Amino acid sequence: MAKSPCIRAIPQIFNYKPRNEHDVRKHLTGFEGKEEAEKRHKSLLKFLKKYQPLDSDLITRLSRCRRNHRCRLQSCPMCMRRLRIWFCDQVAPLISAVPREWLWVTLIPERHCHPEGSLAEFKPQNLIEDLRRALRSHGIKDIVICGAIDYCMEIRKTVEFTPLYHWVPHCHLLVRISSKQQSLLRTAFSTNLPSSTLVDRPVHIAPLKSDGFEILRPISYCVKARFNSVYVPPRSESKPKAKRKKQRMHGRHQAELASFLARNKLKDRLVLIGAKRVQKSIVLSARLHVRKTNARATNFISYTDAFRFDTSW
Ligand SMILES: [Zn+2]
């Protein structure tokens, strides 16, 4: 098995203590516990040994991940739980000031779907560049996007009843754009992401409804560390809209995804447009035509420059 790209540990960005008011562990009901992440880590190792036994470097590095010696791989459930805590603490201040001015956007670009066994061919940077191009081509500049690429395994039954398995990389994005430009944003994405037989609803844009601590839910969902499969029932005239069913991802798919994610850079997972990561901070780089945002951005930068270390995890 060819393993061309090497394994990459992401930068040591999340060993710090989040602010109390944006600590997702304290305020979000149902946020994954440490034990849950440890359990998933254990079963992932089992799946890797069974389905990707030649990926011994990954297996070794994952199995050595422990307190004060984290592997920092994007396939590690324990390290990714820390990434979620970091991401929530960084993005929440941007949203909490003006939650009603943000949109929740899901994009499913069909051209980036891949059959099972070939996820390594997916290039996250191409997907992100497609988004940037869509915005550029419609003249959208004043926009802030904080989100990430997510992964799903879609299982479809064909007429012959042979299941077809497809990786469906998609984006969950929190977007701030002026209300005047919202319809332009919809046009930009819809033009670039047409619906198809594989993806019937590639663009979903809705106002962000959460506020208070609940804004942590969509933020943490962007970088969720547990991935699912979705069973798509065959369409028939009698059942034109049969329901898709979410199910636990099979071990062999979890292993393939882990092997892929371990070779990703952090910028291959996070989608930051009009915002950027500067060491351990996410800071705004866009200038919005909204006074409040600029004021918030200034406060935000001064806060995040003073991040606090916590090496106890
Ligand atoms: Zn780890």
Strand ranges of the sheet holding 170-177, from the earlier edge strand across to the other edge: 203-207, 102-107, 170-177, 143-150, 270-273
Separation CA 64–CA 76 (nearest Å): 11
pLDDT at residue number 4: 58
Residues with CB under 5 A from ligand 1 (ion): 65, 70-71, 76, 78-79
Please state the pTM of the whole predicted model. Answer: 0.88
Q: How far is the CA of 264 from the centre of ligand 1 (A)?
A: 14
Give the start-to-end residue ranges of the domains of the chain: 20-302
pLDDT at residue number 240: 65
pLDDT digits (tens), the chain, 313 positions: 454 589 999 998 877 789 999 999 999 999 999 999 999 999 999 999 999 999 999 999 999 999 889 999 999 999 999 999 999 999 999 999 889 899 999 999 999 999 999 999 999 999 999 999 999 999 998 899 999 999 999 998 776 667 889 999 999 999 999 999 999 999 999 999 988 878 888 999 999 998 889 999 999 999 999 999 999 887 766 666 678 899 999 999 999 999 999 999 999 999 999 999 998 999 988 765 444 444 344 333 333 333 333 333 3
Q: Report which of 90, 22, 19, 94 is spatially closest to residue 296, judged by C-alpha positions.
A: 94
CB 2 within 8 A of CB 118: no
Q: How far is the CA of 187 from the centre of ligand 1 (A)?
A: 40
Q: At what angle do helices 251-261 and 56-63 cross, to 10 degrees?
A: 90
* Coil, helix or strand at residue 51: helix
Separation CA 219–CA 27 (nearest Å): 13
Between strands 102-107 and 228-232, the pairing is unpaired
Beta bridge partners of 289: none
**If residue 143 lies in a helix (H) or strand (E), which one and from where to where?**
strand 143-150
